[in-house]
Amino acid sequence: MAKQLTIAIASGKGGTGKTTIATNLAKVIAEDGKGVYYADCDVEEPNGHIFLKPQIEQSRTVTVPVPQVDENKCTDCGKCGEVCQYGAIVHLGNKKVLTFDNLCHSCAGCWMLCPAGAITQKKMEIGIIESGNSGDIHFAHGKLRIGNIRSVSLINQLKQSIKARDLVILDVPPGTSCPVVESLKNVDFVILVTEPTPFGLNDLKLAVDLVRKMEITFAVVINRDGIGDDKCEKYCQQENISILMKLPDDRRIAEAYSVGKMVVDALPEYRKDFTGLYENILQEAEK
Amino acid sequence: MIIAITASAEGIDSPVDPRFGRAAYFAIVDTENDQCNSIPNEAVSAAAGAGVTAAKTITDTGAQAVLTGNCGPNAARTLQAAGIKIYAGVSGTVKEAIEAFKAGKLNETQGPTVESHFGTNG
Ligand code: SF4
Ligand code: SF4
């Protein structure tokens, strides 16, 4: 392969089988002898490790800077509170300045602007990044601290820690919010996983809008094909979106999932579906 | 004494807004003469930190007490640091709230009454 390809597996809502697609795809490509890096960007609820069962070799704490105020130095100018867009620092007068670490976005505005040098940076832990190997697959995921809101920063750090391989697979958090946008930055190709139901179609449309806005090449995978109607397929036809794979609604797949087994291990007959998906991705990505 | 009441509209007869950070208005009332000055809450559409920003607005009015429905932890911390007393669980109209306050019928609240993001829809 000429260059590294980064593929993101995303979906407009949770529970569509995104992780099933991402982990099994990683596995068949690795077995094909390619260097694969799987990174789980769903830092609020990572679950790729349940299926890939990686050997974790490294773990590091991720911190972000938040303000620390030396109230003795404060000259009551009020600038810190005015600049903060997040209500994370407030000046109450009489040298009283309150900070709220859980609201801070580390924009640096307050400590850059404080004319008295009363504000310095301290570190706040937002989560950890663990990495290791699952067979031939290089594995990494982020785990956000409970109650922390800084998933975007953690995803950013996680992506920076990825080492070059032939192929990088990003398991993207569900939805279309900021953490999704962060996960999709700089990827080459997106797979949107959906279920063929009215709800699935609704969320698929939202996801399509997002990737179109971000100008990323994408295609669709339909999971649990057969449970709903053909509206998703019709929509894709109308919009000229390729459907790269349809994974049938097979009770045995759900069973494998529920006990943390990979589909391609539990049901080898599906292996060709995933190798086919990989070939389709390569073709589409070159378009 | 100046007190602030969260209100869903302007004027002394409007209903008390149960939310603090996302309240539509703050009725700033002087208990000496019941003069009411309604100020819009600029934090109502803030992406985050509405409670803190709203608390700062109230601090700047010189109010010494806040009458509201519920108050989150960040707002409560800010108001307490500014020495402003919190009376939560208040309902009815702004006028009724003031009367209850004057009659000593309200109990001061010592901490937050709800989790963060209570007043956010979704
Ligand atoms: S760093 Fe930015 S977000 Fe954080 S408290 Fe300072 S101004 Fe607010
Ligand atoms: S910017 Fe600095 S000097 Fe001004 S109020 Fe904030 S802490 Fe005090």
- ipTM score of the complex? 0.80
Chain A (66-85) residues lying within 8 Å, Cβ to Cβ, of chain B: 81, 84-85
Determine what percent of chain A is predicted with pLDDT higher than 70. Answer: 99
* pLDDT (mean) for A189-215: 95
Contact between B69 and B89 (Cβ < 8 Å): yes
pLDDT at A264 over 50: yes
**Quick one: pLDDT band at residue A88, thresholds 50, 70, 90?**
very high
Which residue, judged by its Cα, is nearest atom 7 of ligand 2? A74
* pLDDT (mean) for B99-113: 89
pLDDT score at B120: 57
Identify the bridge partners of residue B28 per DSSP, sorted by sequence position. B4, B37
Identify the bridge partners of residue B27 per DSSP, sorted by sequence position. B5, B38
Mean pLDDT, chain B, whole residue set: 91
Identify the structural domains of chain A with CATH numbers, from first to last: 5-61+145-285 (3.40.50.300), 71-117 (3.30.70)
State pLDDT tens for residues B87-96.
999 999 999 9
State pLDDT tens for residues A242-257.
999 999 999 999 999 9
* pLDDT (mean) for B57-75: 94
Mean pLDDT, chain A, whole residue set: 94
pLDDT score at A1: 43
Query: Within a domain: residue B120?
Result: no
Q: Test A92 with B46 for CB contact under 8 angstroms.
A: no
The domain of B23 spans 2-102
Query: Within a domain: residue B111?
Result: no
Is A97 an interface residue toward B (CB < 8 Å)? no
Of the CA atoms within 13 Å of residue B12, those in its CB half-sphere come to 13
Identify the bridge partners of residue B64 per DSSP, sorted by sequence position. none
Residue B117: helix, strand or coil by DSSP?
A: coil
CA of A115 from ligand 2 middle (Å) equals 7
pLDDT score at A127: 97
Query: Within a domain: residue B117?
Result: no
Query: Within a domain: residue B115?
Result: no
Q: Test B46 with A96 for CB contact under 8 angstroms.
A: no
Of the CA atoms within 13 Å of residue B30, those in its CB half-sphere come to 4
Determine what percent of chain B is predicted with pLDDT higher than 70. Answer: 94
pLDDT at B67 over 60: yes
Is A178 an interface residue toward B (CB < 8 Å)? no
pLDDT score at B118: 61
pLDDT score at B121: 47
State pLDDT tens for residues B17-56.
999 999 999 999 999 999 999 999 998 888 778 999 999 9
Question: Which residue among B49, B56, B78 sits closest to A86, beta carbon to beta carbon?
Answer: B49
pLDDT at A97 over 70: yes
Query: What does the alpha-carbon distance between residue A194 and residue A199 come to, in Å, rounded to a whole number?
Result: 9
Query: Within a domain: residue B69?
Result: yes
Q: Strand A36-40's sheet: what is its strand order?
A: A55-69, A119-134, A137-144, A36-40, A167-171, A5-10, A189-194, A217-225, A243-248
CATH number at residue B42: 3.30.420.130
State pLDDT tens for residues A26-42.
999 999 899 999 999 99
* pLDDT (mean) for A221-246: 93
Lowest mean pLDDT among A152-161, A274-283, B39-48: B39-48
Determine what percent of chain A is predicted with pLDDT higher than 90. Answer: 87
Which residue, judged by its Cα, is nearest atom 4 of ligand 2? A77
The single-letter code of the amino acid at A186 is: N
**Quick one: pLDDT band at residue B122, thresholds 50, 70, 90?**
very low
pLDDT score at A178: 93
Which residue, judged by its Cα, is nearest atom 8 of ligand 1? A84
Helix locations, A43-190, DSSP H: 48-52, 79-83, 109-113, 151-160, 178-184
| Burial readout A147-159 (b: 16 or more C-beta within 10 A, e: otherwise) | ebbbbbbbbbbbb
pLDDT at A147 over 90: no
Interface residues of chain B, partner chain A, Cβ below 8 Å? 43, 46-53, 55-56, 59, 74, 77-78, 81-82, 116
Please give the backbone phi and psi of residue A273, each rounded to the nearest 5 degrees, phi first. -65, -40
Ligand closest to the CA atom of residue A99: 1
pLDDT at A15 over 90: no
Residue position matching structure tokens 């589409």: A284
Is the C-alpha dihedral spanning A80, A116, B80, A67 positive or negative? positive
Question: Which residue among B43, B74, B81 sits closest to A103, beta carbon to beta carbon?
Answer: B74
Which residue, judged by its Cα, is nearest atom 2 of ligand 1? A107
Query: Within a domain: residue B30?
Result: yes
pLDDT score at A96: 95
Total number of domains constituting chain B:
1
